[in-house]
């Protein structure tokens, strides 16, 4: 209650400050009416900043045009075309992005500048982000913990929304997407506006509605794989000559079914299911979602103020509040299927202060502070043991980043110190009695990074980034001791687990010439105290069944790999693209392979770009991808050998039409063109089912 | 503009105040209630009477029942060893209890579309089992809370008798018939989880054979 009142007061203050900001600007506007045009130009300069990614970062950006071609997919599916990015799936409804072999708490996702804080530890917990929000998505492959904070061990995903308008008029867009597999329909609309009477003020509203039913593999339906999603957001901002203010709110809400066939209770069940490798039951098509299912609501509130003290000095203050509510429902006795078996609420407050000092030479220095306060609570009433404890987490970090710019070189170096306090209390009811567990842990860490960009000549460019990043162990790694319902595993944490430190060196060689363009990224990563869970080859008999036991352990691990992306343009009309990624990961202490590392993959496509009469840019593309069987695995740490290699073919095409200021675009894609029956190693339900069959998607976009 | 900065400062202080006011709650002790606790299997001798293509089972007035109890792990008391007699038929009934010791076998009958028991462990030709459950409308259903077990042959030694009550995934039950009562491949064929997996040593013997 006390917290709610304080929040209300704070929100009221924010609104008041915004109102005052508007009044202030009205006065300013009338006083300097004659200079209005000059001021406006300057404002545009502030709003339309470049990439929110340093040039010395090894990163890939998906443009608005590229995003248009994958609209309707989740975040992970949207970025999987980037070489080095793959996905970890749990059935067909849950996908997590993987950057160069890292996922979950080893990659950081920034949603409109706020780090996504949800229950990322779960392999079956997908990121709570609506890709329709994004104008651009950037994927940083370096371990850039200094700038972005802990957990950026494997990389950073930045979801960048469009800038708010600063002048009058209304613009917007509508997207309609239909897909054959799952008979899914998605609609998303965005409306932007400003006020002529109040230059500098802008607003945006956006919403997405999605529904899809049971997905079909090449030969059969996957029971209970429907998804419902409703997301919306609103933003308002005000820019004066020197200052800018922004408030933003978004909600991501999803309900998704989890494949029936993956529900197994005993070792006998697991063995039996694996030996068959596909469901024996025949499920038809249905939109209906029943247990096991997940219902997740993620609210994000952001308030940001940016102030330029002079042309050189500026300060940005960003506050974020996130509320993540996760309810998981499982098969249960009686009417208890309506009760969640896991019911968690995670509240996260983040506060970021960045003081920027620009030098005339283009060099700059950043001083920053990041604070995170997190409270996780299990909501009583599940009538089941909780899997993770209630906890408080307080993190504070300070950093300094210096950037030097020379004619052919750019350097960036940074240093950061973080402190984290983690205080947990959990309760567990076991057959041998009740037990309270938890405790307080403190973590200190110093991290650093160094990046350089060498513009060798007009065509060649070499970037190198060396980063040390860290993460504190998560609640489940420390304290879990029970059945992880979503995973069907009995997991046992270790309260003595230490922080994980990753050293990542990424190099990127870029070649740009009219006809031939390519990028080759090569990386080496060493992770000290790599946290992983491994079956201890015993089965835990609980009152509800028998489950394989997994224990959290630490080792030192190495990751080596390379990603390639190249295009050759034969003519204005015809081009060829080749993408490839390979990764080699090792558990150094035990001299073993690590599980769930993507296998080698290569993708190629041929594309025709032309102008069609009465239409704008038109394209046709045929693609092929080949995924090798993962041969680097340890049989004893998995239930089954990795599935075989597979080929995929894809066809797509699109066109656009301009009618005055309005644009209508259309595109159609066919994935898994030959309806191949296949399994992907990175799908955790590959034991029980095959992956998705042919999928035809139609996308219509209207912009005005 | 100064005013604006002052307000921003107030907001900042306010937000920091909220931030540091938030704290975790001590966990409310949550007793897992859905789980299944103890169970009982009762064997009561009946008379089996052939009636065309099916049997009728008639009570025997002086018959005494034998009850085997199981703990929450599905295990009987140490040394449990039951003799059933060749040629005789027994009414086999299940009583199951939840965590709070409330009887719950009725729930299996109410949700008969997702529950079915399998009787396993006997060598071929030794036992015959017939489901004898009824739903609310007195219609025959195959669950296995009540059934009739006939001993067709004796065995030289005992074997581990297994009563598995399967909690089936939606849609699975349609593919199971009464003839699947002893299907050893039940795990593979009939997806779901085991609500109960009760095991004890059973020894079918000749009438008059000595106890051991």
Q: Please write the tens of the pLDDT for every residue from A364-383.
A: 999 999 999 999 999 998 88
Nearest beta carbon to residue A427 from set B27, B187, B197: B27
* pLDDT (mean) for A461-475: 95
**Residue B14: what pLDDT?**
67
pLDDT band at A330 (very low <50, low <70, confident <90, very high): confident
Mean pLDDT within A71-76: 92
pLDDT of A44 over the 50 cut: no
pLDDT at residue number A471: 94
Q: What is the pLDDT of residue A17?
A: 36
Mark whether A406 and A464 lie in a shared domain: yes
Q: Quote the CA–CA distance of A559 and A485 in Å, as a whole number.
A: 30
Q: Give whichever of B3-7, B172-176, B185-189 has the largest mean pLDDT.
A: B172-176
Contact A418, A150 (CB under 8 A): yes
Residues A254 and A318 grouped into a single domain: yes
**Which whole number is the average pLDDT over A124-150?**
93
E strands present in A23-104:
59-62, 85-90, 94-99
My answer on whether A159 and A25 are in the same domain is no
A71 and A8, same domain (yes or no): no
Q: Looking at residue A26, what is its pLDDT?
A: 30
What pLDDT score was predicted for residue B3? 61
Alpha-carbon distances of A37 from A195, A237, A244, B93, rounded to whole Å: 15, 19, 18, 89
Q: Are residues A384 and A432 in the same domain?
A: yes
Determine the pLDDT at residue A275.
83
How many angstroms separate the CA of residue A385 from the nearest CA in chain B? 6
- Buried residues in A622-641 as b, exposed as e (16+ CB within 10 A): bbebebbebebbeeebeebe
**Is the pLDDT score of B16 beyond 70?**
no
**DSSP annotation of A277:** -
Q: Are residues A8 and A116 in the same domain?
A: no
Q: Cα torsion at A164, A166, A168, A172 (round to 10°)?
A: -20
Shared domain for A39 and A5, answered yes or no, is no
Q: Are residues A9 and A144 in the same domain?
A: no
Query: What pLDDT does A11 receive?
Result: 39
| Complex ipTM | 0.73
- Identify the pLDDT of residue A42: 32
A1 and A50 housed in the same domain: no
Give the pLDDT band (50/70/90) at residue A361.
Answer: confident
pLDDT at A423: 94
| Chain B positions in Cβ-Cβ contact with residue A319 (cut-off 8 Å) | 12, 15
Q: pLDDT: is B42 or A25 the higher one?
A: B42
pLDDT above 90: residue A566: yes
Cβ-Cβ contacts under 8 Å between A and B: the total is 191
Q: CA torsion sign, A12 to A18 to A23 to A27?
A: positive
The first and second tokens of residue A570, run together, are 């034969």
B189 touches chain A (CB under 8 A): yes
Containing structural domain, residue A651: 32-233+242-703
Reported confidence tier of residue A16, pLDDT bands at 50, 70, 90: very low
- Which of B:1-60 have CB within 8 Å of A? 1, 3-5, 7-8, 10-12, 14-37
Q: What 3-state class would DSSP assign to A310?
A: coil
**What are the chain A neighbours of B194 within 8 Å (beta carbons)?**
265-266, 269, 545
Distance from the Cα of B104 to chain A's closest Cα (Å) equals 9
Query: Which tokens is A291 given?
Result: 């247990």
A625 pairs with which residues across the strands?
Answer: A603, A648
Which of A84-93, A217-226, B30-39, B147-156 has the weakest average pLDDT? Answer: B30-39
A619 and A609 in contact (C-beta within 8 Å)?
yes
Would the pLDDT of A516 be above 70? yes
pLDDT digits (tens, 9 = 90+) for A256-277: 998 887 766 666 777 777 888 8
Chain A residue whose CA is closest to B192: A264
Tell me which chain B residues have a C-beta less than 8 angstroms from the C-beta of A21: 4
CATH number at residue A407: 2.40.170.20
Averaged over B153-176, what is the pLDDT? 91
pLDDT at B123 over 90: yes
pLDDT, tens only, A227-238: 999 999 999 999
**Is the predicted pLDDT of residue A3 greater than 80, yes or no?**
no
The predicted structure's pLDDT at residue B191: 83
Considering the domain architecture, whether residues A617 and A576 belong to the same structural domain is answered as: yes
As given in the structure block, the two tokens for residue B209 are 């054979």
Asked if the model's pLDDT at residue A20 lies above 50, the reply is no
Least confident window among A289-293, A331-335, A407-411, A603-607 = A331-335
pLDDT greater than 80 at residue B18: no
| B139 touching A (Cβ < 8 Å) | no
Q: Which residues of A touch B167 (CB under 8 A)?
A: 265, 331, 333
Per-residue pLDDT at A430 exceeds 90: no
Residue B129 region, left (φ>0) first, then alpha (ψ -120 to 50), else beta? beta
The domain total for chain A is 2
Residue in chain B lying closest to A348 (CA): B19
Q: What is the pLDDT of residues A671-700, one digit of tens each?
A: 999 999 999 999 988 888 999 999 999 999
Do A1 and A122 belong together in one domain? no
Are A2 and A48 in the same domain?
no
Q: DSSP characters for B99-168?
A: TTS-B-HHHHHHTGGGEEEEEE-PPTTSEEEEE-EE-TT--EE--SSEEEEEE-S--SS-EEEEEEEEEE
Average pLDDT over residues A78-103: 93
């Amino acid at each position: 209650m006390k917290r709610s009142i304080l929040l209300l007061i704070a929100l009221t203050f924010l609104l008041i400050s915004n109102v005052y900001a508007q009044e202030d600007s009205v006065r300013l506007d009338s006083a300097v009416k004659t200079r209005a045009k000059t001021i406006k130009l300057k404002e545009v300069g502030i709003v339309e900043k470049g990439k929110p990614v340093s040039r010395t970062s090894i990163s890939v950006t998906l443009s608005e045009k590229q995003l248009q071609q994958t609209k309707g997919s989740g975040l992970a599916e949207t970025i999987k075309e980037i070489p080095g990015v793959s996905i970890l799936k749990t059935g067909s409804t849950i996908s997590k992005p993987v950057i160069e072999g890292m996922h979950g708490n080893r990659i950081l996702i920034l949603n409109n500048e706020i780090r996504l804080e949800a229950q990322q530890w779960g392999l079956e917990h997908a990121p709570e982000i609506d890709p329709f929000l994004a104008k651009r998505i950037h994927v940083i492959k370096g371990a850039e913990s200094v700038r972005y904070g802990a957990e950026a061990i494997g990389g950073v995903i930045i979801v960048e929304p469009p800038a708010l308008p600063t002048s009058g008029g209304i613009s917007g867009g509508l997207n309609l997407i239909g897909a054959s597999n799952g008979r899914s329909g998605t609609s998303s609309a965005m409306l932007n506006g400003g006020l002529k009477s109040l230059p500098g003020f802008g607003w945006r509203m956006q919403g997405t509605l999605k529904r899809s039913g049971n997905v079909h593999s090449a030969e059969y339906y996957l029971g209970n794989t429907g998804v419902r999603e409703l997301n919306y957001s609103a933003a308002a901002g005000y820019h004066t000559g020197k200052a800018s203010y922004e408030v933003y709110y978004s909600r991501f809400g999803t309900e998704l079914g989890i494949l029936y066939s993956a529900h197994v209770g005993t070792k006998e069940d697991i063995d039996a299911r694996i030996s068959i490798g596909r469901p024996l039951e025949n499920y038809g098509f249905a939109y209906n979602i029943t247990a096991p299912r997940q219902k997740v609501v993620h609210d994000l509130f952001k308030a940001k103020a940016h102030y330029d003290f002079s042309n050189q000095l500026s300060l940005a203050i960003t506050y974020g509040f996130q509320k993540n509510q996760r309810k998981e429902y499982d098969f249960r006795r009686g009417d208890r299927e309506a009760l969640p078996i896991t019911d968690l609420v995670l509240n996260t407050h983040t506060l970021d202060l960045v003081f920027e000092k620009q030098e005339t030479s283009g060099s700059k220095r950043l001083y920053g502070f990041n604070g995170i306060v997190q409270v996780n609570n299990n909501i009583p009433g599940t009538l089941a043991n909780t899997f993770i404890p209630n906890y408080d987490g307080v993190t504070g970090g300070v950093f300094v980043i210096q950037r030097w710019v020379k004619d052919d070189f750019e350097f960036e170096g940074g240093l950061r110190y973080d402190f984290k306090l983690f205080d947990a209390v959990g309760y567990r009811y076991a057959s041998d009695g009740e037990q309270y567990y938890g405790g307080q842990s403190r973590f200190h860490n110093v991290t650093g990074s160094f990046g350089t960009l060498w513009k060798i000549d007009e065509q060649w460019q070499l970037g190198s980034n060396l980063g040390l990043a860290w993460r504190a162990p998560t609640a489940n790694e420390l304290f879990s001791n029970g059945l992880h319902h979503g995973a069907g595993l009995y997991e046992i944490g270790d309260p003595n687990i230490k922080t994980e430190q990753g050293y990542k060196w990424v190099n990127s060689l870029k070649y740009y010439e009219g006809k031939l363009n390519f990028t080759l990224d090569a990386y080496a990563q060493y992770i000290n105290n790599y946290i992983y869970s491994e079956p201890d080859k015993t089965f835990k008999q609980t009152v509800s069944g028998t489950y394989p036991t997994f224990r959290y352990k630490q080792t030192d691990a190495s990751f080596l790999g390379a990603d390639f992306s190249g295009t050759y343009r034969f003519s204005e009309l015809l081009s060829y693209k080749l993408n490839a990624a390979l990764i080699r990961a090792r558990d150094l202490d035990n001299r073993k392979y690590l599980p769930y590392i993507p296998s080698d993959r290569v993708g190629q496509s041929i594309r025709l770009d032309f102008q069609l009469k009465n239409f704008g840019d038109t394209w046709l593309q045929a693609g092929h991808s080949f995924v090798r069987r993962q041969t680097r695995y340890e049989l004893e740490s998995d239930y089954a050998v990795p599935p075989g290699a597979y080929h995929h073919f894809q066809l797509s095409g699109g066109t656009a039409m301009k009618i005055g200021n309005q644009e209508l675009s259309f595109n159609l894609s066919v994935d898994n063109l030959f309806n191949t029956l296949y399994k992907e190693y990175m799908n955790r339900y590959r034991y029980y089912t095959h992956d998705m069959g042919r999928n035809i998607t139609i996308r219509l976009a209207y912009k005005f | 503009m100064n005013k604006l900065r002052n307000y921003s400062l107030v907001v900042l202080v306010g937000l920091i105040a909220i931030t540091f006011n938030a704290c975790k709650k001590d966990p409310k002790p949550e007793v897992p209630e859905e789980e299944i606790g103890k169970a009982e299997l009762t064997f009561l001798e009946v008379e089996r009477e052939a009636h065309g293509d099916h049997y009728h089972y008639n009570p025997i007035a002086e018959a005494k029942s034998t009850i085997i109890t199981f703990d929450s792990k599905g295990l009987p008391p140490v040394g449990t060893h039951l003799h059933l007699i060749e040629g005789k038929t027994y009414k086999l009934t299940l009583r199951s209890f939840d965590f709070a010791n409330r009887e719950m076998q009725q729930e299996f009958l109410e949700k008969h579309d997702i529950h079915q028991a399998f009787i396993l462990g006997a060598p071929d030709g030794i036992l015959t089992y017939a489901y004898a459950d009824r739903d609310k409308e007195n219609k025959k259903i195959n669950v296995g809370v009540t059934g009739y077990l006939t001993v067709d042959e004796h065995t030289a030694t005992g074997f581990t008798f297994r009563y598995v009550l399967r909690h089936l995934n939606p849609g699975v039950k349609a593919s199971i018939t009464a003839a699947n009562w002893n299907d050893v491949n039940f795990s593979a064929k009939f997806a779901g989880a085991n609500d109960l997996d009760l095991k004890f040593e059973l020894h079918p013997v000749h009438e008059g054979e000595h106890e051991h």
